[in-house]
Amino acid sequence: MQELVLALFALAMVATASKIPRTDQDEPLWWQNTIVYQIYPRSYQDSNDDGTGDLNGIQSRLQHIADLGVGSIWISPVYESPMADFGYDFSNFTNIDPIFGTIDDFKQMSDRAKELGIRLIMDIVPNHTSEKHAWFTKSVAREDPYTDYYIWKDPLGFDEDGNPIPPNNWLSVFRFSAWEWVEERQQFYYHAFTVQQPDLNYRNPLVVEEMKNVLRFWIEGQGVDGFRMDAVPFLFEDPEFLDEPQRPGATDPDAHDYLEHIYTFNLPEVYDMIGQFRSVLDEYEEVDGLPRVMMVEALSQDLSVQDLMKYYDVSDFPFNFNFVVQLEAPMEAAEVKKQVDDWLDNTPEGKTPNWVWDNHDNWRMGSKFGEELIDGMQMISLLLPGIAVTYNGGEIGMLNTDISYEDTVDPQGCNCGPEHYDDSNCSRDPERTPMQWSAEANAGFSGPQVEPWLPVNPNYVTLNVEAQKAADISESHLKVYQSLVALRQRDQVKLGGVVNVALGDVFAFNRQLNDEAPLIVAVNTSGDIVKVNLKELDPTESTYQVILRSTRSENLDTIPGSAIHDLADVTLGVYEGIVLEPIPSAT
């Protein structure tokens, strides 16, 4: 029998409650209260049975997204690419790779999304191109105006065997030297990522204008509502090209984190450049009055919260990776509160917070923290103030898939080798496997005779969209997710402030507007049954009822519709999350 743990309020409350009141009650801009649903196109839906997801596949599943109540989709790269890094190496910023379809397919998908009320956000990687891009080919040949479109540098000299010596000790994110020799040009080029991804030179104003024109192309002709700017801290390098110092305690000289990246990461010029990109969106907003969004990705443990918050000054918001990077398993309520406070307390006044549990580069949240906590984690990210980001499959609680080294295709995983490819910071294949739509062969992602680009998780037979659509809410992550999305439409959630507390193993918060009784959320992060005092979260002393709880709960006290007469004595089951609303007073 599981131990009954008393979460005593007086002893267990951690830190001071955080409050983020709204300064007005105007309707937020569409993106300030949206759910950003990330689609990894390769893995979403294969429409032509070639084993790879595509644009027509996405279009065929837009109704699913509309049924979720999601307001926007962020589509990972579908640009023309030789696929050295699965589409993050663009050979043409203004065309679609044939593996995903055509530009006409994109426009049809965009138009259909608008019909369904879904905004469209595109992934852009401004830092680099593919080595196959026409700009790079012409730069290698010193063909103007492309000669200095990239970071070129002479060798330090030549070793005794006649091999060129790299200009400095800079390392690639994917290990080994960040410099690659080009015999034709007799110079090295810099690549922060793979050898096939040469970095663009943003000290060249022609490159800046090229990228602005890329943004204009997608806004004007394709109806894009915003952009997610990838890997922005890498946009600039120190012009002196000095060696970077070794990181204290680092032992692997080939690993990126062997060095402290003081000359290649998040230089001051980056902020101005992002501001220039954001100004392109402003051009269109001034003409048509339609709000557009620019969100930036700056994932790194090397970035201070103060430096990260500066991106609010030049974009609409930087992604909040506190739950991804800072929060360790097993989850602890005090640590959840710490990460929530870290973001809320530092978010500039008038700016919008956002919450991310996972994505295509990081373990799925259920695999990292445990599938029992999936619903509780959704309650946290979907009901805290601001923007929630959902990685496709998160709505049904998809988990990582075990991938053998022989089946590994991620270049980052391959570079780690057979001994380390399945370390949590190596291969990204486990979180990128195909979307699980049904119990049919290949989970309904591809036809039955097709071998998908990555293996489908064997659990698809029971864990899939169709099964969860048919199940009762008590057994369906999908229906819990949809219920949470519906709650986001309440003024309390759209406009209300928040107070959050950690009470022993329970992370809890409220959403309150003016003097009304608040909505209350409580999540037990432990494998024990706990009693918790939630009165801190209700200044109105109202009577509450349970309106939503985690799937598979066996707690008789939290059956939806049950009254909670005393917030000082609330029982939560193992890993259980609940949402409470006040019962209207009889008149």
545 exposure class (CB count in 10 Å sphere: 0-12, 13-18, 19+): middle
Query: Is 230 in the active site?
Result: yes
Three-class DSSP category at 153: strand
Active-site hit among 80, 85, 89, 297: 297
Question: In whole angstroms, how large is the CA radius of gyration of the chain?
Answer: 25
What is the distance between the alpha carbons of residues 90 and 84, in angstroms, rounded to a whole number?
10
Residue 35 forms beta bridges with which residues? 388
Q: What is the DSSP letter of 30?
A: G
Edge-to-edge order in the sheet of strand 152-153: 152-153, 187-190, 179-182
Q: Residue 563's CB: how many other CB atoms inside 10 A?
A: 12
Asked whether the beta carbons of 380 and 521 are under 8 A apart, the reply is yes
* 3-state class (DSSP) for residue 180: strand
Distances (CA, A) of 564 to 381, 430, 533: 24, 41, 12
156/546 Cα distance (integer angstroms): 69
Q: Which structure tokens are listed for 68? A: 């979720």
Q: What's the CA gap between 437 and 435, in Å, rounded?
A: 6
Catalytic residue among 230, 335, 557, 581: 230
Is the C-alpha dihedral spanning 82, 86, 92, 95 positive or negative?
positive
Coil vs helix vs strand at 303:
coil
On whether the CB atoms of residues 20 and 503 are closer than 8 A, the answer is no
Which residues are CB-contacts of 505 (< 8 A; sequence separation ≥ 6)? Answer: 5, 7, 332, 333, 524, 525, 526, 528, 530
Which among 178, 88, 73 has a CA at the least distance from the CA of 361?
A: 88
Phi first, then psi, for residue 38 (nearest 5°) are: -80, 130
Annotated catalytic residue 297? yes
Q: 512 with 492: CB under 8 angstroms? A: yes
How many residues are present in the chain?
Answer: 587
Bridge partners, 564 (sequence order): 544
The strand ranges marked E within 439-576 are: 497-503, 506-512, 519-524, 529-532, 544-549, 563-564, 570-572
Indicate the DSSP class of residue 325.
I
b/e burial code for range 235-246 (CB count within 10 A of at least 16 → b): bbbeeeeeebee
Q: Where are the alpha helices (DSSP H) in 196-250?
A: 205-222
Helix H or strand E encompassing 391 = strand 387-391
Rounded to an integer, what distance in angstroms lies between the CA atom of residue 586 and that of residue 572? 28
Active-site annotation, residues: 230, 297
